Amino acid sequence: MSSIALEALREAWAGELFGEALMYALLRRLPDAAVHAGELRQIAALERSMAKVLASVPGIAVDQVAARAAAAERADAVAGSLRDWGDFLSTSALGLDAALARFGAIPEPGDRRAGEVKSLLVRHEAALIAFIALAATDCPADRNTALHAIGRDLERFLAGA
């Protein structure tokens, strides 16, 4: 795998650690977190699964303890800057669009497994964008199924890992 692809996937892995940590920080800090706890936990679980998928590629998950600590520190700072669920949704929409473009531009890794991981990563980000868009329309949490298919695919991948 090229060093460019490896570094991009490593950055994506760190981003997934951050995403999971952010959801838990939001549960602690958002004034309306109780209303959206199910959605925050659902996103956290998806972020955790995507991080595990990325970590299955050799050379991706380096210094996990330090990476998790850095993600938690950054997540706490970001969560403290958000006013409420709506602020989280609008801020996330911008960040996810940029992430999807970045991940789509990752060079093909060259081996089948890493290529499958890249594909799952791109689909994961697209699913999060769809989920956030539906949540912004006040779609009830139990009817927002945008994450279901990718969640199943990540679990299938991990079961076969």
The model's pLDDT over 62-121, given as tens digits with 9 standing for 90+, comes to 889 999 999 999 999 999 999 999 999 999 998 999 999 999 999 988 889 999 999 999
Question: What integer is the mean pLDDT of 38-54?
Answer: 96
Phi, psi of 106 (to 5 degrees): -65, 130
* Measured torsion, CA atoms of residues 35, 73, 75, 126, in degrees rounded to the nearest 10: -140
Q: Is the model more confident about 142 or about 17?
A: 17
pTM higher than the cut 0.85: yes
Q: Take residue 160 and report the two structure tokens written for it.
A: 């076969």
- C-beta separation of 128 from 43 below 8 A: yes
